[in-house]
Amino acid sequence: MIRDNIASAAAVITRKTLRLMGKGATTLPGKIALKISPSIIASKAKGKNIITITGTNGKTTTSHMISDMLVNEGYSVINNISGANLASGIATTLICGKDEINRPEGESKGIVYVLETDEAAFAKTAKDISPKVSVVTNLFRDQLDRYGELTHTRDCIADGLDKTDAILVINSDDSLVASLGKGREKRSVFFGMDKDSMLMNNTKYPPKKSILPASPDAVYCPECHVRYDYKARSFGHLGDFVCPSCGAVSPKCRFSVVYDLKDNPSKEDYPFSLKDSLTGTTEDMKLKIPGSHNLYNTCAAVSAVTVLTERIEGKSEGSAELFKAAVKAEENVKAAFGRMEKIKVGDKNLCILLVKNPVGLDRSLSFVCESEDKAALMLLLNSNIADGKDVSWIWDVDFESKAEDLPEDIYVSGQRYGDMLLRVEYAGRKVKDSGDMSRVMEMLRKALDECPAGKCVYVLPNYTSMLDLRGRLVRELGIKDFWK
């Protein structure tokens, strides 16, 4: 107890000092606290209502949506929305989070902690966090020099889950994620695309044929190592899978997205429906954060909020009322920093879409191609430790089939701008200008100057290049820091 108190005091003092210096202070306070008291996370998490969100893509967006929805439902929320998702960032949030609590209008129903957690670190932090609900979004190949193969990442998450009694909210369409439900059936809740909708859209609106092979991520059955057959796919390896050898299939969803691609999910307010099979309820919705991948993030967020509020209120058999409340709460969600973040610059827009792996960049390029307001594209590529030192993954992205639909003006920057320049030109497109991060604002200003009114410059950075760019935008355009 004394050690915990000293650790907490040290974290609070460190944070206040760093904030006075204009720093984010999202990890160092927790790092110091953990040095003083390694059990500080368990101590601070005890007895709290906590949701964890882990997976390769969509963690920050889903966490942000869950936070907004819970506030809209009347809960006070503390989160690590800055994306500090290792043990140090989680400790900082648990110790110092009340300074930046998000409160609802009117009386609060209580405090919920929404914690994005790194998938590789989940095995070490899950027991101490002891969440009520744990969301797993998806698993894609990402930073092989850090995470290793996907099966290893899946095993790390499974190890963490087995140290908790959390209800699992897991993606039915991702074969590796869905396999987490095996042996944990009584506490697993699945979400995903409605299988009939997926098949209908594959048949009626077949996707443009890729020039590069489809993503090989997780297309083999983990039990018998035979390649899955797919009745339908959404993107990457996500879809309605079946193993021709052992018969393993995509699990039945409690929460599923009913959609029709006659409309474009890249447009704001794309209409779709969300179905809760347990209560027999279907609700019409509008996609508040554009992009077909955000259908999954929205479904995950509604699923998690429904399941958590059911657990808090003791509705073990499901509640149509709480499902409808979660759907309504989604109406006012906003994008997280760097994730489909639109910034107004005079009569033009700047949109930042974080990309950090082949599937993420592929989906973002598809989004840009489908966007009616695209005027220019800027690609930023760094290779710091947080990004992964190996950038060869850009050659696994299908630029070729999208090349003719990308904006006419393409700019490239970042530490590894030469690698990205070569990749773009190898796909048959010319780059208008390129250079390292010292020239990024010069190129961005040029792109914005030449951007027509009402149109958008799309910027696709990886992690540290996004933080660098946003720091420059804070200083030059006065936008909010990522931690505010």
**Do residues 59 and 150 share a domain?**
yes
Q: Could you tell me the residue range of the domain that residue 221 belongs to?
A: 42-331
Cα dihedral value 258, 372, 333, 354, nearest 10: 100
**Do residues 194 and 264 share a domain?**
yes
User: At 443, which CATH number?
Assistant: 3.90.190.20
The partner residues of 74 in beta bridges, in order of sequence, read: none
Are 153 and 162 within 8 A, CB to CB?
no
Please indicate whether residue 38 or residue 24 has the higher confidence score (pLDDT). 38
**Do residues 324 and 363 share a domain?**
no
Say yes or no to pLDDT of 484 above 60: no
Give the pLDDT mean for 120-134: 93
Last residue of one domain, picked from the residues 275, 308, 331: 331
Say yes or no to pLDDT of 407 above 70: yes
**Do residues 355 and 258 share a domain?**
no
- Among residues of the chain, what percentage have pLDDT more than 90? 68
**Do residues 392 and 466 share a domain?**
yes
Confidence of residue 138 (pLDDT cuts 50, 70, 90): very high
Place of tokens 């993107």: 235
* pLDDT tens-digit series, residues 30-83: 999 999 999 999 999 999 999 999 999 999 999 999 999 999 999 999 998 777
User: At 157, which CATH number?
Assistant: 3.40.1190.10
Last residue of one domain, picked from the residues 331, 359, 375: 331
**Do residues 251 and 379 share a domain?**
no
Say yes or no to pLDDT of 143 above 80: no
pLDDT of residue 316: 76
Structural domains in the chain (count): 2
User: 20 lies in a domain?
Assistant: no
Say yes or no to pLDDT of 126 above 70: yes
Confidence of residue 268 (pLDDT cuts 50, 70, 90): confident
SS3 (DSSP) at 454: coil
**Do residues 309 and 370 share a domain?**
no
User: 31 lies in a domain?
Assistant: no
Give the pLDDT mean for 132-140: 94
* DSSP letter for each residue of 382-398: --STTT-S--GGGGGS-
Q: Where do the DSSP E strands lie in 414-484? A: 433-434, 456-461
* pLDDT tens-digit series, residues 203-235: 999 877 665 555 566 778 878 888 899 999 998
Last residue of one domain, picked from the residues 305, 331, 357: 331
**Do residues 355 and 311 share a domain?**
no
**Do residues 251 and 385 share a domain?**
no
User: 1 lies in a domain?
Assistant: no
pLDDT of residue 336: 74
* pLDDT tens-digit series, residues 358-401: 888 999 999 999 898 999 999 999 999 888 888 999 998 999 99
